[in-house]
Structure 1
C-alpha cells in the first residue's frame, strides 16, 4: 500500500463504512475507524464539502447525492455496453476484424468494450484505452456528431498533435473529414493512432438522438483496401444502428 495516497485510502475506508451503515454520527465513525476524533471530523468535513457526504440537523452523516450522479454515469455506460455486445459479436463474426466500442469522456474517447479479430494477424487494443477526439475513426465519429457549437469550441482549444504517421493535424482538413463523416454515416482512418493500422467507425445514438458512442472495426492496413470499404461501412453502420435502436433511438 506504500504506493497509495494514505489520505485517499483513509477517505475510502470511511466511505466504505456506509455500505453497511446508511447513517452514522461522528462518534460512530470514530469508533468504527479507530482513528482520532479530530482526524475523522476533518476528513468527514472535507468529504461533506465535496458532496460525498451530507449531514442532517442532528449531525448524522450519510452518503451525498454526488453518488447518484456517478451511479447514473456508470449505469449509462454499462447500458450501452450491454446493448452493444450482441451486435458487436455478430459484426466480428461477419468481418473477422477487431470490434471496438467507445464513448466520450471529456476531450477524449475511451474504449469500454472490445472483441478480438478471429484472424491470425491482429490489432491489439485494450479496454480503458484513451484517444483524443480528433484522432482515429472511433474517436472522430464522436466529434463529428457532437453539437456543432460544442465541436467548434473543442477545435478552437485543441492542439492537433501527431500521434502516428497518418494523424490529422490540419484543422481545415479535419473539419472537412468531420463533415464527410456526418454526410456518409461513418469515419475512416489510416495510421492515425498506430502506424500500418486502419479503422472504420459509425455513430451510436441514444433515445434523445444525441451521440452515445462509436462502433468500429479495426485491423492492419492491408485488410482495409478500397475494394472492401463498401462492405465494411455497410456492416458497421448496420450494427451501430441496431445498437442505437436498443437504446431507444428512432430514425426521423
Structure 2
C-alpha cells in the first residue's frame, strides 16, 4: 500500500509539471486546451488544476482560462538574486584561483543544505573535484558551515534540534557541542576550516559573502588535498580568501 501511494504521488507530481510546462508556449489555456495538449484525462487535469490554483502556481481568469500564478514571480526573483551572486563572484573567484593556485568554490544555502553553484578548478595534478549542483549538509565542510555560523541563535538551535549529524568522512563533526564551538570560532575568525569532512584527505577554507542587508547569502571556499592546507599555510590563505569574500560582498551592497 505504501509503495503504491508513493508511486501515485510521484505520477501526480510529474503530470502537474507537464501541465505547468504548457505555459512555456502559451500565455493562457482553457481546461479543454490543456487536456488536448497534455493527453491527460480531463478529470485528472481538473483535479490537478484545483491543487495548483490553491497553492498559487496557476490563476483562473474571469473567462475561465488559466495562466501562471504570481508565485512564479517571487520564485523568479529569488533565482535572479541568487544568480547575481554568481555573476558578481566569477571574476573574483578566477583572480583568487590564479593567485593561490587552489580550487575555488561558491555555494548558496538551500534549506538545511548548501548547493555548489560555481567552481574555478586548479591545474595542479592532485586536487579535489567538486561537482556543480552538489548538495552538502550545513554542518559538514567549511563552506556549508560558514553559512550556518551566521544563523541567529534561534535558527541554529531549531536546526540542531531537527538535524542528525551523520558522518560522511572520517573528519565529519558528529557532536553538537563540538559543532557549536566550531561555529563560534568561525564567526570570530571570519572563516571556517575543515579536514576530511566531505571527502577523505581533503581540506577547505571558507568565508561568508554578505548582501546589502548584512545577511550571509553565500559562501566562498578554497579546497584541496590536506597536505596543502597545513597550519603554516592557513594564515595567508585565509586572509586572501576573506579579502575576496569582502570584495564580492561590497559589490552586493554590503556596508559592514
Name the TM-score, length of structure 2 as normaliser.
0.90
93, 103, 107: which is aligned to 2:108?
A: 103
CA offset at residue 206 of structure 1? 0.6
Residue correspondence of structure 1 range 193-212 to structure 2 within 5 A: 193-212=198-217
Find the aligned partners of 1:170 and 1:36 in 2 and give their Cα distance.
52
Find the aligned partners of 1:172 and 1:42 in 2 and give their Cα distance.
48
Cα–Cα, structure 1 residues 34 and 131, in superposed 2: closer, same or farther, change >3 Å? closer
1:248 aligned onto 2:256: no
Q: Between 171-180 and 77-86, report the one with greater CA deviation.
A: 171-180
1:171 aligned onto 2:176: yes
Find the aligned partners of 1:241 and 1:75 in 2 and give their Cα distance.
21
17, 22, 30: which is aligned to 1:17?
A: 22
- Report how many aligned residue pairs link the two structures: 247
1:64 aligned onto 2:69: yes
Report the counterpart of residue 157 of structure 2 in structure 1: 152
Q: Which runs of 5+ in 2 are unaligned?
A: 1-9
Find the aligned partners of 1:114 and 1:100 in 2 and give their Cα distance.
4
Name the TM-score, length of structure 1 as normaliser.
0.92
Find the aligned partners of 1:6 and 1:156 in 2 and give their Cα distance.
33
Q: Which runs of 5+ in 1 are unaligned?
A: none
49, 60, 69: which is aligned to 1:55?
A: 60
**SS of structure 2 residue aligned to 1:163:** coil
118, 124, 129: which is aligned to 1:119?
A: 124
Find the aligned partners of 2:189 and 2:183 in 1 and give their Cα distance.
10
Find the aligned partners of 2:111 and 2:14 in 1 and give their Cα distance.
26
**SS of structure 2 residue aligned to 1:198:** strand
1:134 aligned onto 2:134: no
1:41 aligned onto 2:46: yes
Report the counterpart of residue 31 of structure 2 in structure 1: 26
Residue correspondence of structure 1 range 210-249 to structure 2 within 5 A: 210-249=215-254
Find the aligned partners of 2:221 and 2:201 in 1 and give their Cα distance.
17
CA offset at residue 7 of structure 1? 4.1
Find the aligned partners of 1:127 and 1:92 in 2 and give their Cα distance.
17
Find the aligned partners of 1:99 and 1:112 in 2 and give their Cα distance.
11
Q: Between 111-120 and 33-42, report the one with greater CA deviation.
A: 33-42
**SS of structure 2 residue aligned to 1:140:** helix
Find the aligned partners of 2:175 and 2:43 in 1 and give their Cα distance.
56
CA offset at residue 26 of structure 1? 2.0
